[in-house]
Amino acid sequence: MKPASDFGRMLYLDHAATSWPKPHEVIRAMDDFCNLAGGNPGRSGHRLSLAASRVVYETREAVAELFGMSDPLRVIFTANATHAINLALRGLLRNGDRVVTTGIEHNAVMRPLRALEQQGVRLAVIPCEPDGSIDLARAAEAIMPGTRMVVINHASNVAGTILPITELARLAHDAGAWLLVDAAQTAGVIPIDVAAMGIDLLAFTGHKGLQGPMGTGGLVIHSTVDTATIEPLIYGGTGSRSAHETQPEFCPDRFESGTPNGVGIAGLGAGVRWVRQRGIATIREHDRELARALVEGLAAIPEVALHGPTDPTQRTATASFTVAGRRVSEIGLRLDDEFDILCRVGLHCAPAAHRTLGTFPEGTVRFAAGACTRLEEIQTAITAVEQIVRT
């Protein structure tokens, strides 16, 4: 492990795994929560508990506003996007239900779906194109009447491919199905309006584009879904209806048993405010510019095979590549050891995506830029790849 003194020379290109470094506002908000509002939210009536409750609710409001939700109580806090996806899938799907997903999903979707398939849920997987995109005609054939839910990621964590959410929502609703969107890679990066886009359930994580700490995330439940029909994943104390031994029926308490991650939620709130202050449209435009630089730079190296769309408007600034005759582990190690460039290699917890891209079982080298990545840093990374493949 390199010493902390080397951090100033590092080029961090692993934002698809988690954003780093966090904004100072996020760190300060977490410190303030511990020092000034460290009570248990909703569990007491004293000033520290009330202060903690205000922080949690203000974060709920900020998340709701970011995603175009009018009711912040339908923002359910979870430990991460995986937790939120499991809440939606296990809470709504029953034995015999039909669910449709795509061939470029993360294991946060595929593993719970495969487990549910073993329990009687019928699963259909729409094959994707070699660049991770989806043929809407093929999707229309798969999303037939009688489908209970359609589950898709907004953008691939491997190829950066952005799927057409609005069009897929229309297909899902025409079939009488709900649309669950995994926004782990796009929340805080691409504008999302759940109502305008036709999203019924939105799973997000706090520690990537939203700039918050790990251990935060949530499920946004649009009014198109009756929350009374969602079975909670966890039952227990909520600080409300304490005289009753049955779970509250109202949101968010129905789905938020146990003491919440108050300090993490405080950091998440600061991260969301940081995103809104910079402007989500501005962040997305910067993301497109970074994607363009990654695509053009990597594609210009003859030995490199770039996986995913070449159009920067159809992808995020996450780019996967392989080098003929070189193992991805070697490329990643040399980038770190020789150039202080941090990226991720392998299967990225998404074997389905790599099968679609044709990069299974070894995987790819992944560069994932973030909101604070500079264009000149992308050129530095491209130059490093050029040097590695030619030596």
What would the pLDDT profile of 199-219 be if each residue is shown by its tens digit? 999 999 999 999 999 999 999
Q: What is the pLDDT confidence band of residue 6, given thresholds at 50, 70 and 90? A: low
d(CA 168, CA 175): 11
This prediction has a pTM of: 0.96
Give the rounded distance of the alpha carbon of 251 from its chain centre: 23
In the chain, pLDDT over 70 holds for what percent of residues?
A: 98
Give the rounded distance of the alpha carbon of 247 from its chain centre: 29
Q: Determine contact, residues 15/187, Cβ cutoff 8 Å.
A: no
Beta strands in 138-255 (DSSP E): 147-153, 178-182, 201-205, 217-221
Are 4-23+280-389 and 24-278 equal in CATH topology?
no
Residue 374 main-chain phi, psi, to 5 deg: -100, 150
The predicted pLDDT at position 43 comes to: 86
CB atoms within 10 A of CB 348: 24
Mean pLDDT throughout 275-283? 98
Q: Determine contact, residues 343/369, Cβ cutoff 8 Å.
A: no
* 349 among known catalytic residues: yes
Q: Which of 128, 343, 349, 372 is catalytic?
A: 349
d(CA 176, CA 199): 13
d(CA 135, CA 354): 18
d(CA 167, CA 165): 6
The predicted pLDDT at position 5 comes to: 44
d(CA 175, CA 53): 40
d(CA 25, CA 372): 14
Strand partners, 366: 320, 344
Q: Determine contact, residues 221/310, Cβ cutoff 8 Å.
A: no
Instruction: Specify the CATH class of 24-278 in words.
Output: alpha beta
The predicted pLDDT at position 126 comes to: 98
What would the pLDDT profile of 149-195 be if each residue is shown by its tens digit? 999 999 999 999 999 999 999 999 999 999 999 999 999 999 999 99
Options 3.40.50.2300, 2.160.20.60, 3.20.20.10, 3.90.1150.10; CATH of 4-23+280-389: 3.90.1150.10
Kindly report the average pLDDT of the chain as a whole number: 96
> Which residue ranges make up each domain of the chain?
4-23+280-389, 24-278
